[in-house]
Amino acid sequence: MPPQPIWTELQQRRYLKSSAPWRGCTYLLGGALLGAATLVVGLALTAVGAALTLVLIGIPLLTALPLTGIPLAALERRRMLLVDPTPAPTPHRTPEAPGIPAWCRLRLREQATWRELAYAVLFALVLWPLDLLVLACTVAFPVLLVAAPAHLAAAGGPGNDIRPAKLWLVDAYPAACATALLGLVLLLLLAHPLGAYSAARAAFARLLLAPRDAELAAGLAEVTRSRARLVDAFEAERRRIERDLHDGAQQRLVALTMSLGLARLDADPDSPLARQLAAAHDEAGRVLTELRELIRGIHPQVLADYGLSAAIEDVADRCALPVETAGVRLPRLPETVESAGYFAVREALANVGKHSGATRVHLTAAHTEGRLRIVVRDDGRGGADPARGTGLTGLADRLAVLDGTLAVTSPPGGPTILSVEIPCEAETEAEAEMEAGA
């Protein structure tokens, strides 16, 4: 059984048999030693800094003094796990730029740094003596009583006077054994206050050293931002690849087919050369067609030129099944939203074509109340499982970066309804009848 928080153990009958009293004792002992060390180091640093201020080197040293709470706090966060194994992550953020100056600037601005410093000061001046005092009362004192017989033996046996814990005179084994028994009872009785104090002590440390809600949220926001940056980078890369293929390979291939076409004109129509030229010409044409489809799959130019409405119509045109779109009229939306919406529609229609057995697809897309909503509904056999296959999961991940959602309902027997929602603001007013064919 993994260790429970001491506070939980305290409320159970088997507290004395559990590891909790031992852990509490270790925690306080460590606190007393570490606190004493902190006091010495802190005083030394302050003294050196103050002395060197006269020659100016001390000023940066004193400025760095608030940061000394940070390593101590890191150590304390690990130590408090002895009392309560609930993880205590660091409240600090990762600096955006490398290097010590950036790190220092960020740390000095963070509230957590100053809480940690406050803890360090309290620790060095108040908490460790308190830890030591509690240890002395609840552990050292009863242990001294328990040790009375051994103490007496060490002092030369009966007839010699000893004073266990400086309290009373003991000069015979019966009295020494009675003292030891008293010590044992006290040790067991005081184990509860010991546990309670260490639990309270660790809770106080946690209060100052663990991240606050706002700091956790800031960390989460940072993760979301970095994911968004990643998606943007992918998007930019796709566009670059598309452009490179379009401006490079495709142009060359078109030029090649032209040369082959001209060569065919010059060749004697019945010669073997003409036949080979014709084969080469056709092959080049097929490569060109394949390349065109490949480029379209990477990043459709129509998305950049005309926006999501036209791009959706375009995918619908290409779908093997009839797609009723009822005319999509969307304003221009942020690039990442348009791209995510486009790939969502493409994935949805591809799935319908592959798995559903549907004969018709109905697609609606609208931008209302600051949300883009796309719904794809088919009349297929249903039973689609979003967990199966990477297409829909990838889509959900992509949408999650934009705070969007993907919902699929697909009861056996159909219909399957896939809906996508992305919060976003329009960049232009909804277009008028832009495309007569829509």
Partner 1 sequence: MLLREGLIGVLGRFGHETVAAVGDADALRDAVSAYEPDIVVTDVRMPPGFQDEGLRAAVALRAERPRLPVLVLSQYVQRSYAAELLDTGDGTGVGYLLKDRVGQVEQFVEGLVSVAEGGTVVDPEVVRQLLRRRRDPLEKLTPREREVLALVAEGKSNAAVAGELVVSEAAVGKHIGNILGKLDLPPADGTHRRVLAVLAYLRG
Residues that bind partner 1 (CB under 8 A): 243, 246-247, 250-252, 254-255, 257-262, 264-265, 281, 284-285, 288-289, 292, 295-296, 301-302, 304-306, 310, 313-314, 317-318, 322, 434-437
Question: What's the closest the beta carbon of residue 262 comes to partner 1, in angstroms?
Answer: 6
Q: Which is nearer to partner 1, 146 or 311 (CB)?
A: 311
Phi-psi region of 307 (alpha: psi -120 to 50; beta: other; left: phi over 0): left
For residue 142, whether the previous peptide bond is cis, meaning omega lies within 30 degrees of 0, is no
- Pairing relation of β-strands 416-423 and 361-368? unpaired
**Sheet of 323-324, strands arranged across:** 323-324, 361-368, 371-378, 416-423, 405-409
Question: What's the closest the beta carbon of residue 90 comes to partner 1, in angstroms?
Answer: 46
Question: What's the closest the beta carbon of residue 264 comes to partner 1, in angstroms?
Answer: 8
Question: What's the closest the beta carbon of residue 418 comes to partner 1, in angstroms?
Answer: 22
Q: Which is nearer to partner 1, 259 or 409 (CB)?
A: 259
Q: How far apart are CA 210 and CA 84, in angstroms?
A: 13
Q: Which is nearer to partner 1, 96 or 433 (CB)?
A: 433
Question: What's the closest the beta carbon of residue 287 comes to partner 1, in angstroms?
Answer: 10
CA 353 to chain centre: 36
> What are the helix (H) ranges across 80-172?
100-109, 111-122, 128-135, 141-146, 148-154
Q: Which is nearer to partner 1, 313 or 347 (CB)?
A: 313
Q: Which is nearer to partner 1, 270 or 305 (CB)?
A: 305
Question: What's the closest the beta carbon of residue 261 comes to partner 1, in angstroms?
Answer: 4
Query: Do the Cβ atoms of 51 and 58 come closer than 8 Å?
Result: yes
Q: Which is nearer to partner 1, 227 or 360 (CB)?
A: 360
Question: What's the closest the beta carbon of residue 437 comes to partner 1, in angstroms?
Answer: 4
Rg of the chain's alpha carbons, rounded to an integer? 38
Contacts of 152 (CB under 8 A, 6+ apart): 158, 160, 162, 170, 171, 173, 176
Q: What is the DSSP string of 330-363?
A: -----HHHHHHHHHHHHHHHHHIIIII--S-EEE
Q: Which is nearer to partner 1, 334 or 391 (CB)?
A: 334
| Residue of 2, 3, 1, 14 lying closest to 192 (CA atoms) | 14
Question: What's the closest the beta carbon of residue 346 comes to partner 1, in angstroms?
Answer: 15
Question: What's the closest the beta carbon of residue 382 comes to partner 1, in angstroms?
Answer: 24
Query: Do the Cβ atoms of 185 and 129 come closer than 8 Å?
Result: no
CA atoms within 13 A on the CB side of 266: 6
Beta bridge partners of residue 419, listed in sequence order = 375, 407
Q: Which is nearer to partner 1, 247 or 385 (CB)?
A: 247
Q: Which is nearer to partner 1, 185 or 255 (CB)?
A: 255
